[in-house]
Structure 1
Amino acid sequence: MSDFTRYAIYYAPAHGAFAEAAAAWLGWDLAAGRAVAQPDLPGLPRGAAALTQAPRKYGFHGTIRAPFRPAIPEDRLIAGLDDLAAGLPPARCGALRLRDLHGFLALIPEDDAALSDLAAAVVQGSDPWRAPLTPEDIARRRPEALSPRQRALLDRWGYPFVMEEFRFHLTLTDRLDAAEAAAVAPVLRDWFAPVLPDPFIVTDLCLVAEDASGRFHLRHRATLSG
């Protein structure tokens, strides 16, 4: 596929039970680049498809560098990511826990200082790869709702939630009201309990790309070996 519009750098689990459970829940397999059947889980107030419309197109992931328009071709992005990852160590965190993040249910690691350091290094190291922000890019980030510091980070790094504003999370649902989130949370805990890694360790960086329909695809996985 050659019509990718944006790229991003993600954490995404390698092939295995965790990746399979997450892809099934969201209905999109990032690595395979295809839709997958979602489970019919008892106890949900609505079907899984109705609860996951927003995060589905991104695939199961944690953002390290948010989507950007590239300034260089894909082969140079891949080579650059390999070089960057070769100088950075894996990030070891505590266990993943299901949390309510302002209405979105997400998996969030405990003790994520190493992951925050990794994300900062990736944002800095990959910054030359992105094209300058357009007015449309800036509008997408709703600058009127940002703090002065977040707006400064947007201008400097192309995204407002980096450096000290970075909060790693693995989104699982659309924004839910309190009652619905309370109903969905125990179902998700049961679904993911057998497969959650503990400790949670980020061992590689994933280059992903957005196609013309807005769906994201895994393009390359670079091992953190510094």
Structure 2
Amino acid sequence: MTQPAPRYALYYAPAAESALWRFGSATLGYDAVTGADVDLAVPPGYEGLDWSEITAEPRRYGFHATLKAPFELANGRNEGALRAFARNYVAGRPPVRLAGLSINALGRFIALTPSEPSEELQRFAFDIVQAFEPFRAPLSQADLARRLQSPLTPAHRAYLEAYGYPYVGDAFRFHMTLTGSLPDAEVASVKAALAQAYVQALPAGPVPIDRVAIFKQQSRSSHFVLLDSIPLG
């Protein structure tokens, strides 16, 4: 039987020694640098919630913001070539400076999102989507069917057909996921708890998007792990 191909993704992931990385990894209970679970940082007063279950879905992916969504490698491409291309591509790009990050609810899940809109960030993300497109294999029928289960606008469907992911270009929204889908009754309280924890863990102020990370998932049942973290510029 043919082994499933690994998947790769281009993410923003903070430096492993940063307070932001420690906050995100502890919130999810997983460190994608080591590939190991870590103690969950459950906000005080919320010990009654099953925090392991709340964070189960994003834990599989590690703490990150998606730049180019997970993909299998195209025929004729290999991991070494992907890593070499990424190093060359990233070396000449300046960091993107955000005014800050804040905790917000996106529908029924909680994430860190930019405090202020950034056109520079939008352009940066779409540049990466396009630049790495030659490395992406076409979506399998199963993956395409899974994507089509979500309600998509005509523009989203066009992006899906072109890039294997519907939320790129003007549909891109930078976010660093901290929970899975929550019951409606818990969204506001979990958001408030994570907002308080974030303010206590990190100083307010600008956040530089200063690196691009390559994450790898060996099989669909495994967690993503950090393969490369390449500083911009």
- CA positional deviation for 1:112: 2.4
Deviation string, structure 1 residues 25-47 (Cα, Å, up to 9, x no partner): 10110111111111243222503
List gaps (5 residues or longer) in structure 2. Answer: none
Match of 1:90 among 85, 90, 95: 95
CA contact (8 A) 1:143 1:151 kept: no
CA contact (8 A) 1:96 1:196 kept: no
Number of aligned positions between the proteins: 224
Identity %: 38
Match of 1:20 among 14, 19, 22: 22
- CA positional deviation for 1:190: 2.0
> Following superposition, which runs of at least 4 residues in structure 1 exceed 6 angstroms of deviation?
none
Match of 2:83 among 63, 78, 84: 78
Instruction: Name the SS of the counterpart of 1:222 in structure 2.
Output: strand
| Residues 66-215 of structure 1: pairs in structure 2 closer than 5 A | 66-71=69-74, 72-109=77-114, 110-142=116-148, 145-193=151-199, 194-195=201-202, 198-212=205-219, 213-215=221-223
Task: Output the TM-score relative to the length of structure 2.
Answer: 0.90
List gaps (5 residues or longer) in structure 1. Answer: none
**Corresponding position: 1:6 with 2:7:** yes
Q: State the distance in 2 between where 1:137 and 1:62 align.
A: 21
Instruction: Name the SS of the counterpart of 1:141 in structure 2.
Output: helix
Instruction: Name the SS of the counterpart of 2:11 in structure 1.
Output: strand
Q: State the distance in 1 between where 2:203 and 2:152 align.
A: 33
* Structure 1 residues 192 and 173, CA gap change in structure 2 (3 angstroms): same
Q: State the distance in 1 between where 2:189 and 2:67 align.
A: 30
- CA positional deviation for 1:140: 2.3
Instruction: Name the SS of the counterpart of 2:132 in structure 1.
Output: helix
- CA positional deviation for 1:207: 0.4
Task: Output the TM-score relative to the length of structure 1.
Answer: 0.93
Q: Which residue of 2 aligns with 1:218?
A: 226
**RMSD of Structure 2 on Structure 1 (CA):** 1.8
Deviation string, structure 1 residues 194-213 (Cα, Å, up to 9, x no partner): 32562111111000001223
Q: State the distance in 2 between where 1:140 and 1:12 align.
A: 26
